[in-house]
Amino acid sequence: MAPITTLLLLAPALALLGLIFLWPWLHYGWLSVHASSLLTGLRALPNGGANWPRLAQDPRFWQDAFQTLRFAGVSVALELALGLAMALLLHQPSRWRGLSRALVLLPWALPGPVMALGWRWILNDPHGPINRLIQSLGGQPQPFLAAPAITWLATVLADVWKTTPFVAILLLAGLQAIPRDLEEALRLEGAGPWTLLWRLRWPLLAPFVGLAVLFRLAQAMGVFDLVQLLTGGGPAGSTETLALYAYLQAMRFLDFGYSATVMLASFAMILLLSVLWLGRGRWRGVQR
């Protein structure tokens, strides 16, 4: 197919992507060098890019950046480990394999706000099911959503519960793409389950692992609805993420210029992490 024909066929899709993705980010870029708040009557006035030095000196931004990176790193690592285990189980021949695969997807299909409110009830102190069970065993109810040291782990737990099935399905697709002949040949050589996993399956799963981590890293870095509904960023801002901080700047303080700056900085972090992750595979290829 001629290049001009290919471009003409892609033009509608590219135009749609530009409309729903590129244009908002261009608008954010424009807002980030303007002051637009109650002090300006919500008019966008040029401020010489003063939002960016303010961002660099904002301790709350850096605290939220650390908390977002911590949440994303721990949740994605757990999802990858649990997703691999689930994919291996779902890959085994079974008469209930179709049903089990459908059931595994239920948490992923559940709307995020519904899931977050469900976990808020489950972890409630002292009336949630977990604390009621603890009390029935003679223990004291635990402040799962009120203690900064453990509340962020509650957000990780909720996120891992919902998104692990997504990782599992991606890895399951990778397992099914591995030729059966290779597995049978390795078994004939006397390889056990662990050798089969680490010598054959894991190396061939690398592209699927990379894709899963890339998708989940971007989603985890932009988490908003889970934190907003489960903890509201508390207690004492210990679970506040960059997306929630940008939302509060715009919707609570009506500082749209600074909110756009926070959003752009968050997007730059996601882009940098994605580039580093993609470059990791190429660097390993060069080393080999």
Q: Would residue 89 count as lying in a domain? A: yes
> For residues 186 and 207, what is the distance between their CA atoms, to the nearest angstrom?
21
pLDDT at residue 286, as a whole number: 39
Q: Would residue 160 count as lying in a domain? A: yes
Domain span including residue 187: 69-212
CATH, residue 141: 1.10.3720.10
Q: Would residue 285 count as lying in a domain? A: no
Q: Would residue 114 count as lying in a domain? A: yes
Q: Would residue 234 count as lying in a domain? A: no
pLDDT at residue 281, as a whole number: 59
252, 221, 248: which is closest to 237 by C-alpha? 248
Whole-structure pTM value: 0.87
Q: Would residue 25 count as lying in a domain? A: no
- The structure tokens listed for 51 are 């939002």
Give the model confidence (pLDDT) of 236-266 as tens digits.
889 999 999 999 999 988 899 999 999 999 9
Q: Would residue 153 count as lying in a domain? A: yes
The answer to whether residues 154 and 231 touch, using CB atoms and an 8 Å cutoff, is yes
Q: Which residue matches tokens 């993420």?
A: 241
Q: Kindly state the average pLDDT of the residues 116-126.
A: 90
The tally of domains found in the chain comes to: 1
Q: Would residue 96 count as lying in a domain? A: yes
